[in-house]
Every structure is written in structure tokens, then in C-alpha cells.
Amino acid sequence: MDYRDKLILAPMVRMGTLPLRLLSLDYGADIVYGEEIIDWRMINTTRVENQILDTIDYVSETDGSVVFRTCSREKDRIVFQIGTADAKRALEVALKVEADVAAIDVNMGCPKDFSIKGGMGAALLRQPEKIQEILATLVQNVKIPVTCKIRILDSLEETLNLCKMIQNCGVSALAVHGRRKEERSHQNNHDDYIRAISKELKIPVIANGGSNDIKCYEDILSFKKRTNAAAIMIARAAQWNCSVFRRQGSLPLESVIKSYLKYVVDYDSLVGNAKYCVQSMLRDLQDSDVGKALLDCQTLESLCQIWSLDAYYRLKQEEFKCRLGKSGLYQPSRGIKLSEEPIYKRLKIVDGNEDSMKLAPVVFHRGEVKKAETLLPKSILYMWTQRKGLQQPLYQTKSIEKLFYSIVTVEGKIYGSSVGSKSKRYAEQAAAQVCIDALDLAPVKSGS
């Protein structure tokens, strides 16, 4: 990957997920960084080829959530950023993802308490030996470019010494946020430091921290000229309106939000994350009628409805269901909890006769049932057995690694979800949904 003369979307927690990355590429970004992911979290994932969304998902082995999602369109432009304080763990993560990303970056600039207390982020700036160990380990063992992102130190001399040491580790580029660990975004960015670093180093220097002065594409060019950097990395200005990357000029915010939400729908993103990102875009408009309506949203469909995209949402959901087949309440965004051994063996509460079992990756979401105004799966199943004169459903639940798994026995057959739930109640509802799907029972409207 060539970093010179590039416009780059900065790594941003919660913001830097697949929808914003793809939209930034649409608008002219050359390289996009994913949000920082802590090493141990990524280590405990399973790589899944999501055929419903045409994505590569790294799914948590703890709770079934998608930790990192990418797709072929960004493969040559996505930089995976690791939060780490340990060379071995960093390497384990890098080797795990290197076939799916264009480069690896190590976060050495985050000033947040979580990172500092864990010895990560800006805490590394005062540990040159550890920096050397992490970067040298990565450079020597992965096949794709390795970079890191730092903040400046108290003096220019200290900062230059740090940057030269990092360069000697063999990294392909260095991103520099022109503020110290204690300085915040309302304070001036030290463009002069970045300019001095750019002059001293032979590798490309990526300038970051100029969003206060960036409102349009021309401002990006001005920032590049002030810092004499090889490339420009943009965080908050892109968070507010990522069409800032457009050489033809920025687009109206409403147009940007609509385009963003289409990607959210296309990749079945979580409504909570989508709300957060749109709120960040609205900024001062959060107290407007649109902003208040956004706060009231509980589902992705209701969020899309504000921008007249609810029909688009329903169309895509139907496409997903056609690809998946009978999906129950399972949604691709939640990922699939995978295990090397069948779930019935892990439960150890049934004999494990596969012929008498039906397992499916179903996740119960209360909001989906509320939106559809139907009875809960357990209620539907109970009413059906009563009408048929059958013994009522028998549920068995076990907690494994802080997640709950349930099976339900109906007419001698066992049904359950292969996906763990965060509560016993939800696990039982998921098991009931698997049974409902297998029996092809129709939903029952509330009050029927």
C-alpha cells in the first residue's frame, strides 16, 4: 500500500464501522481505518464468511456478536487498527486478519482511561522498548504493511527521537496526531511539530488533528500544505460529514445521512450503532424535530422511516430472508455463535440423538416482536400445544461461558438455538422460535 498523497479516514470508535468506511470511499477517501479493536477481543473470534451479506465477519466466541466486518470492496484499502500492549497478542491478531485487510496499524495515541490503564494507546509513548518489540514483531512476521499512530510528546526533540526510533522498526508509514496526550480537540493542533517530523523522516508521515479547520476539500489541502505531510488523516470532520473527501465539494447533510443509512441497511448494522453515528452527524441539530425523532427510534426500520427509507429497509430484509431461508428472528448483524462441538453435547442435558433434534442459529430480539405486534414465541408455542391437546413444551437451560442455551421438547422432538443468549428468558424464546419455524406455525397477533 502506498501512503503518499492519500486522503485517509481516521480510526474512530463506533464510527469506523463498515457503512461509514464504504461511504467515505464513495466520496473520495483513498484509505479507511477501522475502529480500534482490542487484541484479546479479536483473538476470541471466529472468521465467518457471511453469505447473506457477502461479508467476512469475525464473530465473538463469547457472545456471538460481530467484532469486525469487512467486504471485498474495501479489501485493498482497509487498515485494521489494534489496541495492544503485548507483542505476542498483537501478532496473533495480525496473522488472523492479514488475508482480509490491506495493512495493520497499532494504536499508540489514544488518551482514553481505558487504553491508558491497560498500558495501550498513549501509554506506550513512554515505553520505547515495548514499542520496538511490538512493531518489530509485526514487521518481521506479517506480509502486509505495518504502521502506527501516535501523539506528540512534550518537546519537539523528544517527539523526533520517538519518530526516528519507530521508523527504524521498519514501519511503512507513521500517523501523527498533533496534540499531546493531555490536550483535547478544542485546543490547537501543533501543525509545526508534524511539519518538522515530515522533514526528518524518510517514510510517509500522515498528518492528523486538523478537523477544527477542515470544512471542505480545500481545507484538507491547506492542512497538507501547513504540515508538509505525505498524507492527511481526517477524523471529526469526516464524522460530521464524510463528503468532506469530495473534490467537487461537500454534499448536504441530509443526502449524506440517507446514503449512510442505505449502507447500514445493506449490511444489517445494529440500530444502536447507527443511531450513535447519525447523532454525531446531526451535531447541533440533535434538538431539532428530526433529532428528537431519532432519539425515540428503537428499531432500524423506524430510524430509516425518518429519512423515508423504510420501504428500502423492508426490501433488503426480504432479500436477506430469501438468502437465508427461514430465519426466524435471526439477523445477520448479530453473527453466529460457533463451537467445535455440537451444542447438544456442550449442554449435557440431552442424550444427543441428532435425528430427534432441530438446531438453528436463531437470536431472540424483544424489539422485533414488539415491532411486529405479535405474541412471544413461547406464548405461541404454548397455545398451539394446548389446541392440539399435547403436553406443554418442556424447556431446559444451561449457562455456558456467561451465555444461556435452551432446548425445548415438543412431541418428543428437541429444538434449540445454536446461538447463546444473555438471559435465560431470551434463550427459551429463541428455542421456542426454532420450534415454531420447524413446525411452520404462523405468527399470532397480540390481542388475538
Q: Is 355 exposed, middle or buried (0-12, 13-18, 19+ CB in 10 A)?
A: exposed
In eight-state DSSP terms, residue 229 is -
C-alpha cell at 15: 464510527
Q: What DSSP letter does each residue of 189-227 carry, written as one string?
A: P-HHHHHHHHHH-SS-EEEE--GGG-SSHHHHHHHHHHH
> Nearest CA to 21 among 263, 283, 332, 304?
263
Cα atoms in the Cβ-side hemisphere of radius 13 Å centred on 389:
0
Cα atoms in the Cβ-side hemisphere of radius 13 Å centred on 203:
20
What is the rounded CA–CA span in Å between residue 199 and residue 193?
Answer: 10
User: How many CB atoms sit inside 10 A of residue 351's CB?
Assistant: 8
Q: Is 102 exposed, middle or buried (0-12, 13-18, 19+ CB in 10 A)?
A: middle
Q: Which helix (H) or strand (E) holds 427?
A: helix 424-439
Q: Is 290 exposed, middle or buried (0-12, 13-18, 19+ CB in 10 A)?
A: middle
C-alpha cell at 213: 479547520
What is the rounded CA–CA span in Å between residue 110 and residue 91?
Answer: 20
Q: Judge contact between 279 and 306, C-beta under 8 A.
A: no
- The owner of cell 526516528 is 164
The shares of helix, strand and coil residues in the chain, as percent rounded to the nearest 5, are 45, 20, 35
What is the rounded CA–CA span in Å between residue 405 and residue 387?
Answer: 27
Active-site annotation holder among 110, 148, 277, 304: 110
Active-site annotation holds for 277: no
C-alpha cell at 43: 483473538
Going along 264-349, which residue ranges are E strands? none
Pairing of strands 146-151, 413-417: unpaired
Would you please indicate which residues are annotated as catalytic (active-site) residues? 110
